[in-house]
Structure 1
């Protein structure tokens, strides 16, 4: 039994202790820190590469989740406080823009403001825990003075030497497994550590570990590996290695001559070479399976002085199952299609990249958003895997992916990470009064690497498009023929690269240096614009057919991280729709702008009238960039009739359709002038048409076209009574980049009896479920109406 000193229990000992402390004075926090109450529950560490033990990206663990600090308003004073939290005397500098690499998980602190004298980072001012508008490209780092605080022994600091963080994970295709196209779905697990890429010992490796690794690599699930094949291959390699000639005596030993081994051919030879290069850096991996990152699992790192690593073991091998969007390029299309696919009840909207966006869920046949209360990485990962991506890189709050419109269906979602769908997680059903769209939740998911890059551009957002073709083991880079390359193809490239949206699709790129890549390997590319990768677009096969040859005429793109997102206020259309019989003598100006039906040309001008379906339209910009006309001011057209400039030839399409989709009447609206009619609170107007002003729609503003404006109608003079669909499409020719084109159409039910019209059930084209949309378009017993 451990002896107890009298000073620990005696009141006299306690009194003497207090007197001694009073005489000697309390130690300074900068020289002998003690446990601060404000730091309870927090843990700190330095991470990232390349770095030294006293510098790196600052990471904080709160509520069991590791996160980072945004560099907004970060100063040396804040670095002093954090270095003391980490056990160093002071800071000598700090870094911004993720110098040590981007982190993962939450961004715990933003706009951190410290005076430098605080005892804990919790005493500094900030936007609040987890409240940030940053990305991990803005992670802050510190450079501390390489001098430890005397007597510092804070268990809340994760020592760098003992707890290295796994920054990246990759799969190296295993030799002898045949050639496979990208993305790589099976191979040896390698982790990036300060010593480079090292392998993981497979002792104790479990399916949970594979699940986490596949999630980091952008795959929703894992499958069993054919271990018999790898065991057989290793045995054959071991036999081939055992047949190597031994040293030929003392003379060769002194001369340090090493005879070359006689190894087998093909995969055995390659496996032998690979086996001799095995370098293990990690072992004892034990994941629960719900972790979003391997660094969150229990794991052990080999020490530098370990001479025997992974005795009796082998490198861990993982095989992943790609999601449906990537199955075609990985050769598993048939397998994915064989599984029954029901209608999805979760989707992402407003994101610049695949696997990124505002989370929307389907309830009662209507799409709505999710409130960010208690939104975390586990819930975000459930969403990502449900949609066919990997685990979540970030759980976004505060409408970082833009505000939605309409219902808010869920709040306080609490997932364990094992659920197959977000709807299986415990949650709270709420009303609009409980939460606002300023708190819409979002996600960023891990995606597979699919082999595409840009070269020669002035920045990473532009350049000549290069694709990687071939199969694992024989991959090469090549160019794309520029014939008929356009905006839709560029949209796919920018999305696949994670660079956002396409400003331009270029057919000539002679002004960009192509480096060593001069071979054209793809031609005839045709995309709809909705694909996630060029592999999903139509293109020529192995035969390349270019009308214009040479690297001068190869495809290029200019991408933008942000884009606008226009949305029509459908309820206003329903509220303001009415019929007007307008005399012809009042329509000369509208006729000049082609706003009437073709039969108006043969009308008895100026006598008679035209029957017009009129309504107001209010177009909101919910994106993250202003909506600007594609054409510059120099090419705008002045219209004397209305006294304004037209900046776009066609801005909206107005159509009357039969239930089977036949168009019976149409209208169009050139952009009389794009301007900010009204804006949300605290948003200033930037665009107005007066005096040849700049045209556009600011983020958070809307342009209102009243029902009494010329061309704000559809000429229905020739339409017979019946049931119809009113459809309005904004930016119909995709002339201006938007983050989401699927919400550019609005539809309403119409009933016309020849004298009056009833417009009802107006909604954005993607606001309902597929089944609800089918019911919307169905009119039992109704035959198609035709123009007289």
Structure 2
């Protein structure tokens, strides 16, 4: 392929084009190669290191009648090192992956497949996005290699992987392609006027071929994006296909299947698949599957092993999925919660409707109605859809519930959890906000509203819009009547049961520090759950001694 000297010079650069981040020294492998007879087709291969494919490097072809075939040289040999995402899944490697994740200063968000997404970087303990000004393939390749992939296949601009929220840390990043980290590239520190989240940069990386998509398939669906899940088990010579028990199968497990097959996101994880053709595969070979939703393949999810335990037997109760190229991504406006939080002592005679909808704590049932009051922590909640598809309720209109007190239909039984926690995570109060009416309260300038609750209208949140629940709306509170003075954490979780597909569930939780003295409450340091680094989150959980932003 090239002369010996050329091989030493380009071997690590060529590895990037093969979708691996790096290559170790190749000398041990050269001894074997030198003993064999070879026919050479290329020589003089010289890569810069940013090429997405070896054919893009400078190279020369041997002519058909050329007799001087690499005199005194040997074939180039490349030994690739997989990134942490593709390391073996034993305990030691998992610890290495966790350590790398904690030390990471760059990550991808909103991508449908591994190695793609919106680029986010860590600065001063806080994650933020990168402006797409001067964003190119060289800078994207640095990100891809830093994350353990090969070179970049695409450098994306215009928030094509969805908009971020919060800080924009970098702009006008100029990389040569050889830097070990994006922070080593010349860049401009950004101000709020310089860029918007509509200009968030993204990447698609070249990935090593693993073959995981050949060990799973969908059958019986109307298209290749849906069907009953079939997995391949057994060793060489004894391979067979089987079904997965539908018990406890949900969106997180379906996300892994769709990712493994390269079909994007999971719209639905189905526990019954009787309406799809069963085909020839009828044996259930896997049960008790539990995934976190981030795994690359079903092999990395927990399950019962060889002993199959299924509550409901038969092929009709086996796992199925419906995949989609796009999905929504909900995000709370955490600063608004901090700005609007206050305490109200509300008379019981004004809470009959709230009690009917279970919006008060359990002790309210034994109160001396209509006398007395309940102490409520109230705040506004603004829920943005920053994904690439509208957020729609899982249930159809036929199953929505009419609430006479509110005068509209509620489309989801559980959409948000409001909780007061101790610093060690013990729940001491909850909001009991059991159901929601979803609509577009406001939208970005170039986006039109599509959903409105009134008159039995369609419900949902359009991409680029948000649903606002003001602090003075019924049930927009946490009943803290029984909470003792102390330091606490206010936690809000959207879509807590993963009922509706999203591109990212890690940003669905919001946390704030609270100090309550029995009369007043201080709420501060509100942030999305994954907005801080691991170390900053640990400091948050220990609760600071100083408080600010007094709310009365």
For the 8 Å contact 1:720–1:786, the answer to whether it is kept is no
Instruction: Out of 769-778 and 457-466, give the one that drifted further.
Output: 457-466
Name 2:18's counterpart in structure 1.
244
Partner residue in 2 for 1:177 = 6
Structure 2 residue aligned with 1:339:
99
The CA deviation string for residues 228-250 of structure 1, in whole angstroms up to 9 with x for no partner, is xxxxxxxxx99999999999xxx
- TM (norm. structure 2) is 0.84
How far did residue 758 of structure 1 move? Answer: 1.3
CA distance in 2, matches of 1:244, 1:640: 62
C-alpha change, 1:654 and 1:283, in structure 2 (3 Å) is: same
CA separation in 1, counterparts of 2:524 and 2:170? 27
CA distance in 2, matches of 1:243, 1:340: 23
Native 8 Å contact 1:651 1:668 kept in 2: no
Once the two structures are overlaid, the 10-residue window that deviates more, 493-502 or 450-459, is: 450-459
2:20–2:208 Cα contact (<8 Å) kept: no
Give 1:321 deviation, angstroms.
1.9
Q: What CA deviation, in whole Å up to 9, does each residue of 1:671-691 have, x standing for no partner?
A: 442111111102111011111
Relative to structure 1, the CA distance from residue 279 to residue 333 in structure 2 (aligned partners, 3 Å threshold; closer, same or farther) is farther
- Structure 1 residues 543 and 387, CA, compared in 2 at 3 Å: closer, same or farther? same
Higher Rg of the two aligned structures: 1
Alpha-carbon shift at residue 314 of structure 1 (Å): 8.2
Moved more, 460-469 or 334-343: 334-343
- Counterparts in 2 of 1:478 and 1:398: CA distance versus 1, 3 Å: same
Mapped to 2, the partners of 1:737 and 1:245 lie a distance apart of 29
Query: How far apart, in 2, do the equivalents of 1:651 and 1:239 lie?
Result: 49
Match of 2:423?
659
Alignment check: 8 A CA contact 1:719 1:787 kept: no
Question: In structure 2, do the counterparts of structure 1 residues 581 and 177 end up closer, same or farther at CA, with 3 Å as the change threshold?
Answer: farther
Match of 1:523 in 2: 287
Q: Decide whether aligned partners of structure 1 residues 754 and 239 sit closer, same or farther in structure 2, where only a CA change above 3 A counts.
A: closer
Cα shift readout 1:745-785 (whole Å, capped 9, x = no counterpart):
11111111111111111111111111111111213789999
Distance 1:400 1:338 in 2: 28
The within-5 A match list for 1:99-138 is none
Secondary structure of the corresponding residue to residue 303 of structure 2: coil
Distance 1:341 1:368, change over 3 A: closer
SS in 1 for 2:88: helix
Cα deviations across residues 336-383 of structure 1 (Å, max 9, x unaligned)?
569877521111112222221110101011111101111111211111
SS in 2 for 1:669: coil
The answer to whether the aligner puts 1:747 opposite 2:507 as a matched pair is: no
SS in 2 for 1:338: helix
Please say if residues 464 and 555 of structure 1, whose CA atoms lie closer than 8 Å, have aligned partners that are also in contact.
Answer: yes
Give me the CA root mean square deviation: 7.3
Query: Does the residue aligned with 1:482 lie in a helix, a strand or coil?
Result: coil
Query: Is the 1:414–1:425 contact (alpha carbons within 8 Å) kept by the matching residues of 2?
Result: yes
Is the CA contact 2:522–2:550 (under 8 Å) kept in the aligned structure 1?
A: no
TM-aligned CA distance change 1:631 to 1:774, over 3 Å = same
Q: Deviations over 1:286-312 (max 9, x none)?
A: 333332222211234577899999899
Q: CA deviation at 1:669?
A: 2.1
Superposed displacement of residue 734, structure 1? 0.8
Q: Residues 575, 626 of structure 1: CA spacing in aligned structure 2 closer, same or farther, 3 A cutoff? A: same
The 3 A distance-change label for structure 1 pair 285 and 464 is: farther
Q: CA deviation at 1:334?
A: 7.8
Equivalent residues in 2 for 1:241-640, closer than 5 Å: 285-300=45-60, 318-328=78-88, 333=93, 342-451=102-211, 452-468=216-232, 479-509=243-273, 512=276, 521-542=285-306, 554-640=318-404
Q: Distance in 2 between matches of 1:314 and 1:333?
A: 35
1:585–1:481: structure 2 CA closer, same or farther, 3 Å change rule?
closer
CA distance in 1, matches of 2:327, 2:13: 60
Task: Sort the Cα spacing of 1:713 and 1:308 in 2 relative to 1 into closer, same or farther, 3 A.
Answer: same
Change (3 A) 1:399 1:472: farther
In structure 2, the CA distance between the partners of 1:177 and 1:559, relative to structure 1 (3 Å rule), is farther
Counterpart CA distance in 2 for 1:777 and 1:489 is 29
CA contact (8 A) 1:292 1:378 kept: no
Q: Does the aligned pair in 1 maintain the 2:133–2:171 contact within 8 Å?
A: yes
1:603/1:375 CA distance change after superposition, 3 Å: same
